[in-house]
Homo-oligomer: A and B are copies of this chain.
Amino acid sequence: MSEAAGDFSRLLNPRGIAVVGASNDPQRIGGQPAKILQDTGYRGAIYPVNPKYSEVSGLACYPDLRAVPRPCDVAIIAVNAAVVPRSIRDCGAAGIPFAIIFSAGFREAGKAGAAREAELKVVAREAGVRFIGPNCIGTMNLKDRVYCGFGAGFANPDLKAGTVAFVSQSGGFAFSVVGLADHEGIGFNYVVSAGNEADIGTLDLMADFIERDDVEAVVSYMEGVSDGARLRAIGRRALELGKPVLVWKVGNSAIGRAAAESHTASMTASYALYRAAFAEGGFIEIEDVHQLVDAARAFGARRLPRGRRVAVVTTSGGSGVLIADACDRHGLELPRLAAGTVRAIEQLAPQYASLANPVDLTAQVTGDHERVNRICAHLVADPNIDQLIVRYGGVQGARGEAWANGIAAVAGATDKPVLIAWSRVPDPAQASMQILDRHRIPWLLTPTRTAYAAGVLNHFARRRERLLARPDPQPRPFAPRRLDLPSGACKLSEHESRACLAAYGVPATRARLIAPDAIDGLARSPVPYPLAVKIDSPDIAHKTEAGAVRLDVRNLKELKQAAREILAAARRHQPGARLNGVLIAEMARGAEVIVGAVNDRFFGPVVMFGLGGVAIELLHDVSYGFAPLDREAAHDMIRATRAHPLLTGYRGQPPLAVEALADVLVHVSLLAADHAGRIAEIDVNPLFVSATGVLAADALVVLRD
C-alpha cells in the first residue's frame, strides 16, 4: 500500500478503458468487462486488447496496449498472473495511469505468488502506474455508470446511484451487500473491491472517498489494514468533515482471523485495538446490511444532534415502550418534556394519551395527521430535546401524503434530526415515502432500527463535538529521556524495569536490590517493614509462579529467611537463571490497577489500563489508548472501564488519586512512544492507587531487537 493517496478521479471516472485479455468467451473473466461496460451504460471508449482477436463484443480489438488510442485512463488486466507485470509495463509505455488487476495467483497463492506480487509492485512503480488489486473483482462508479468488473455483482444495470462509497476487502461479498442495500433504498456512488492491495489500498480509498463532495458516508468491509496511525487519521478527518465511516470489521474471532489470513493473507491486528481506533474516530461499526442501510440513511439527513436527549411520539404505547428500551441500549435519554411543551400538546392530544416521554397519542389520532404534526412541531422545538422519533400509523394514500408533507415542514423548521419509525412494508411507489426521501427525512423500518439510527447519530455527534472542542492534543509534560538499555531482544529484571519507569517519573514503592552474598550480612532492612521480598532476575518474569515472592515480611529474621528461600526457589525453578539478587520493597496499599503497553505491529505503541486482576482477566474490563496520550485521553481511558467508580469515592470511601493515575498513563505512554524502537512491552502490575497517590509495586519491561 502506498503512503500517499493520489488523485483517483481518472481511475473512478476514466475517459477510456482498455481490457487486457479481452475475449468473446463470457465464461472467461476477460470475456466479461467489455460486455458489462457496454450493457451498463459506460459512456467512454472501450478498447479490448488481445492479439488473438480483431473484434471483441462487437468492438475493435487491439493487439497490445501501445496500439490503444488516447485518452485511455484505465487498463483492466485479466490475463494470466505470469504476464501481469508485462501488461503493467505496457500501461506505463502507453501512458495509461491506472490499472485494475483481476488476475489471481499472487500473494494469496503461496510463495511463488508473493514473489510475483513483489515484482509487480516494482514494475508498477517504475512504470508510474497505480493499480487496484491484483485478485480483485473490480470497481463500480454508479454515478457515471462505470462498471469495471466481472461476475454476478456487475450483472445488475438497475442499481441506483447514491451518496455512499464502499471499499471492500471481499469483492464477492461487497457486491452482494450493494444489491441488498439498494433493495432497501440505499444507493452507492463508488464501490471498489480492493483485492490484494499491492498498491492502492483500503486506506488510500477511504481517505480519497471521505474528501469527495458527492460522498456522504464511506463503508469499509475490512479484515485488516497495515497502518493503524493512518486509520486513526482518517477517523479524525471523518469527524472533522461530519461524515461517518461505516466499518464492517471481520476476522475478529480466532477462527475468523485464521480464515482471513488464509484467504487473503490480510493483516489483522488485535480486534481490541481496532475497536479503540474506531471508538476515538468517526467510525460506526456495523455487522450487517440493515445497520449499513440505517446508518447511511440517518446520516443522509446531514444533521447531527446536539445532545443525547430524544423525544419519542407514537400512536401505539407498545412501540413507545420498545423505542424507549432501544434508546436506552444505544446511550440515548428520554428526558421529561419542558412544561411549556406539555401544556401545548395537552391542548392537542386525545383523551387517554400519555404525555410523558415517550408520548403515546393512541390509535385515536390515526388519520388526523394535522394534529400529529402540530404535536411533533412542539416536541421538536422543546429545549430539552435534541432528536425526535415519530412513529405514526396513518401513512397510507392521500392522507399519508399530506402527513409526509406536514412532517417535512416540521423538519424543515428545525435543524434537529427528525426520524421516522416506518413500520410498514416499504413501498418506494408510495407518495409519502417519496416525500420523506426528497426531504432527506430518514425513515427506518422498525422501532428498534429507528432507535439504532438515532443512537449512531448521537455517538458520532458526541465524538465530533469532543474533537472540535479540543482540536490539539495537550503538550507533553517533559522531553524524551535517555534509557540505558541492554542490546537485543530480552526481558529486564524488575529492578531494571523500575529504572525505566523512574526515568519517566512513574512513582514506585521504595525498593532496594540486595546481592545474594549480602543477605547474611544484613543488619537491618533498607526499607521500612512490612516488606515484599522478590527475586530479581531478567530470566524470571513470573516470580510468583516461581515461588520467588514473599509478602508481608515483618522483621529481620523473616526477611533473611525469605531471601534465602527465594534464592533457593528461583534456582530450583530455573537452574542457570541469572539472579541479580533479592529485591526488598515496601508494601503498598490501595486499589490495584494494571497499566501496560505493547508495541503493536500495526498500531504502534498502545497503552492498556484496567482495575483489579479479576475484572481484567475474567471480565475483560480494560481500555486501550494510543501512545503518546495526553492527560485528557488518559482520563478517557480510566473512565472507559466499567469498574472506574472504584476510584472516585466508591461506597463512602475517599476518592483516590485519579490525577496521579492519569499521570502514570501519560508517562508510561511517553516511555513506550519515545522508545518504540526498543520497547516491545511494559507491564506495571500492580499499581496501587490510594487517596494520596500511586505506587507501582511491580514492573516488567520487554525489549525487542
Contacts and interface: CB of A to CB of B under 8 A. Distances in A.
B253 A424 contact: no
Interface stretch (A210-218, A259-267, A403-411): A259-267
A251 B325 contact: yes
A260 B446 CA distance: 19
A646 B318 contact: no
Contacts of A615: 614-615, 618-619
A328 B250 contact: no
Nearest to A315: B172
Given A250-B321, A251-B321, A326 B287 contact: yes
A458 to B, nearest CB: 16
A545 interface: yes
B287 A448 contact: yes
A328 B445 contact: no
A574 to B, nearest CB: 16
B221 A318 contact: yes
A173 B357 CA distance: 18
Interface in A289-305: 289-290
A307 interface: no
Contacts of A448: 287-289
A572 to B, nearest CB: 16
Interface in A144-161: 151-152
A386 interface: no
Interface string A502-517: 0000000000000000
Contacts of A254: 328
A521 interface: no
Contact of A614 (B223, B324, B612): B612
A349 to B, nearest CB: 13
Nearest to A322: B250
**Most B Cβ at <10 Å: residue of A180, A263, A360:** A263
Contacts of A263: 317-318, 320-321, 354, 360
Contacts of A252: 325
A612 B287 CA distance: 34
Interface string A444-462: 0111110000000000000
A392 to B, nearest CB: 11
A176 B322 CA distance: 13
A186 to B, nearest CB: 13
Contact of A168 (B259, B318, B329, B366): B318
B172 A319 contact: yes
Contacts of A151: 363, 366
A89 to B, nearest CB: 26
Contacts of A139: none
Interface string A405-420: 0000000000000000
A447 B363 CA distance: 38
B176 A324 contact: no
Contact of A256 (B321, B544, B545, B618): B321
Interface string A123-152: 000000000000001000000000000011
A148 to B, nearest CB: 17
A63 interface: no
Contact of A180 (B179, B256, B446): B446
A137 B363 contact: yes
Interface residues of A, number: 86
Nearest to A591: B614
Contacts of A329: 253
A318 B173 contact: yes
Interface in A354-401: 354, 356-358, 360, 363, 366, 393-394, 396
Nearest to A221: B318
Contacts of A326: 287
Identify the interface centre among A109, A326, A394, A614: most chain B CB within 10 Å of its CB. A614
A329 B255 CA distance: 11
Contacts of A223: 318, 321
B614 A319 contact: no
Contacts of A253: 324-325, 327-329
A290 B444 CA distance: 13
Contacts of A352: 104, 108-109
A481 interface: no
A289 B326 CA distance: 14
> Which among A250, A354, A447 has the greatest number of chain B C-beta atoms within 10 A?
A250
Interface in A226-281: 250-256, 258-260, 262-264
A196 B417 CA distance: 35
Interface string A618-651: 1101000000000000000000001101100000
A351 B621 CA distance: 44
A334 B256 CA distance: 9
A169 interface: yes
A170 interface: yes
A263 B312 CA distance: 14
A316 interface: yes
A259 B137 contact: no
Contacts of A545: 652
- The CB with the most chain B CB atoms within 10 A, among A137, A252, A329, A360, is that of A252
A254 to B, nearest CB: 7
A266 to B, nearest CB: 9
A259 B354 contact: yes
Contacts of A425: 179-180, 182-183
Contact of A172 (B104, B176, B179, B393): B393
Contacts of A40: none
B646 A256 contact: no
Given A179-B425, A262-B317, 4 more contacts: A152-B394, A180-B446, A259-B317, A614-B646
20 contacts: A104-B352, A108-B352, A152-B394, A170-B316, A172-B319, A176-B319, A180-B423, A223-B318, A253-B324, A253-B329, A255-B333, A259-B324, A263-B354, A288-B448, A289-B446, A545-B652, A611-B614, A618-B643, A618-B645, A619-B642
Interface of A: 104, 108-109, 137, 151-152, 168-174, 176, 179-180, 182-183, 221, 223, 250-256, 258-260, 262-264, 287-290, 315-322, 324-329, 333-334, 352, 354, 356-358, 360, 363, 366, 393-394, 396, 423-425, 445-449, 544-545, 611-612, 614-615, 618-619, 621, 642-643, 645-646, 652
* Minimum-distance CB pairs A-B, first 4: A170-B318, A263-B317, A172-B316, A253-B328
